Structure 1
Amino acid sequence: MKALPNDIVLRPRFNVQTRQPKSTVQRIFDTAQKSPFLMKRLDDHIFIRFSKEHTTFWSPQLHLELTDFEEGKTKIHGVYGPNPVLWTFFMFLHFGVATCFVILGIWAYSKHSLGHDITLLIVGMVLLVVVWIALYLFGRLGKAKGKGQMEQLHQFFNECLRSVNKGQEL
């Protein structure tokens, strides 16, 4: 498996195929408890995160989805990201900024059509763009701060994957 890319993506994703049936892969991950990681499996979804004493505001988690694509073969889709509550709040802020930008744009267009001054509305739109850029940079900062833990998750996943490919328990 390749190393994690360091591009513009805030939530890196990957796909891996293994020659083991899904039940074997699930069993390997179910028994792969190792400090400081906590594992939780819900049907075909596996969540790997850090224990409370190792968790910070920026701590990432790994979400794996297992799918059968041929008899006896499993595809693993993985996504590294922050705590889902934090990610949802972060996306809510982005959506709020975008909604305010559109509203100010419509308002500015209407006022401009009527011949009124729109300076404050344009300043507000520029400030919203600055806020959006700040949110993006905040997300990049969080990714950078959580990179060490993301690499730990990646190493642990690779250990589990080697066990899966050997067909052995950890």
Structure 2
Amino acid sequence: MEEVQNSAIFLRPRFQLEIAQSSTVVLEEFSKVLKEKSCEYPSKFSDGHVAIDVPVKQAHFWSPQLNVEVISVTDSSCLIKGLFGPKPQVWTLFMFVHFVLGFLFLCFAVVLYVRVRLGEAYIMPLMLLIFIPLLWILLYFLGRIGKGTGQPQMEDLHQLLIKIIEKA
């Protein structure tokens, strides 16, 4: 088993595993382990995709979710692609705030341009054009803090994945 991980700087780390096992066998093992009564990890299955959440008792706002895609390479091998990220609700909230800030940045840039061309006072739109990128930077660091908060749970999910793969 060979694991390839990307840089740790990303907010949504990815990895790949090459397995000398068919994708059908690996997906059956995922299903068997995650649907056991003793398994406390909620999961969802869709074709070759598996989404695994942290146990409900341990979940918090920054809890990660592991999305796994099992891709068949040959009849006797497969590629497992994993993506750690926030739950879809948290990711959607962050993206919505980013889009709103981007829209406001463009609006204030237009207001600044118009005020400069008309020779009117432009201090307020200029201050907002400086303030909005600072909010973007703040959002980035909030995401990094959230990732750090969810790091132990990310490691637990990764260990669960390795355990399932070793059984297959």
- Structure 2 length as normaliser, TM-score? 0.89
The whole-number CA distance in structure 1 between the counterparts of 2:31 and 2:119 is 66
Structure 1 position 149, deviation (Å):
0.5
The equivalent position to 1:95 in structure 2, one of 92, 96, 99, is 99
Which residues of 2 match residues 20-169 of structure 1 at below 5 A? Answer: 20-33=21-34, 35-164=39-168
- Contact 2:3–2:15 (CA<8 Å) still a contact in 1? no
How big is the shift at 1:5?
Answer: 6.3
Q: Distance in 2 between matches of 1:110 and 1:15?
A: 50
* CA-CA distance at 1:82 after TM superposition: 1.0
Larger relative CO (CA 8 A, sep 6+): 1 or 2?
A: 1
CA distance in 2 between partners of 1:23 and 1:148 (Å) = 30
CA distance in 2, matches of 1:7, 1:39: 25
Over the aligned positions, Cα root-mean-square deviation in angstroms equals 1.8
Question: Deviation of residue 2 (structure 1)?
Answer: 5.5
Q: Which runs of 4+ in 1 moved over 4 A?
A: 1-6
**Letter aligned with residue 131 of structure 1:** L
Is the CA contact (8 Å cut-off) linking 2:6 and 2:14 kept in structure 1?
no
Cα offset, 1:50, TM superposition:
1.6
* C-alpha separation in 2, matches of 1:97 and 1:106: 14
Q: Structure 1 residues 150, 4: closer, same or farther in 2, change over 3 A?
A: farther
Displacement of 1:115 after TM fit? 2.0
Instruction: Give me the whole-angstrom Cα distance separating, in 2, the residues matched to 1:2 and 1:68.
Output: 16
Q: 1:2 to 1:25 in 2, by over 3 A?
A: closer
Query: Cα distance, 1:154 vs. partner?
Result: 0.9
Number of residue equivalences: 164
CA distance in 2, matches of 1:7, 1:46: 23
Give the deviation of 1:69 after TM superposition.
2.5
- Runs (5+) with no aligned partner, structure 2: none
Deviations 1:77-105 (A, max 9, x none): 11001111111111111111111111111
Q: Which SS does the other structure have where 1:28 is aligned? A: helix
Deviation at 1:32, TM superposition (A): 1.3
The percentage of aligned residue pairs carrying the same residue is 31
Partner Cα separation in structure 2 for residue 64 and residue 13 of structure 1:
10
Q: Distance in 2 between matches of 1:75 and 1:21?
A: 9
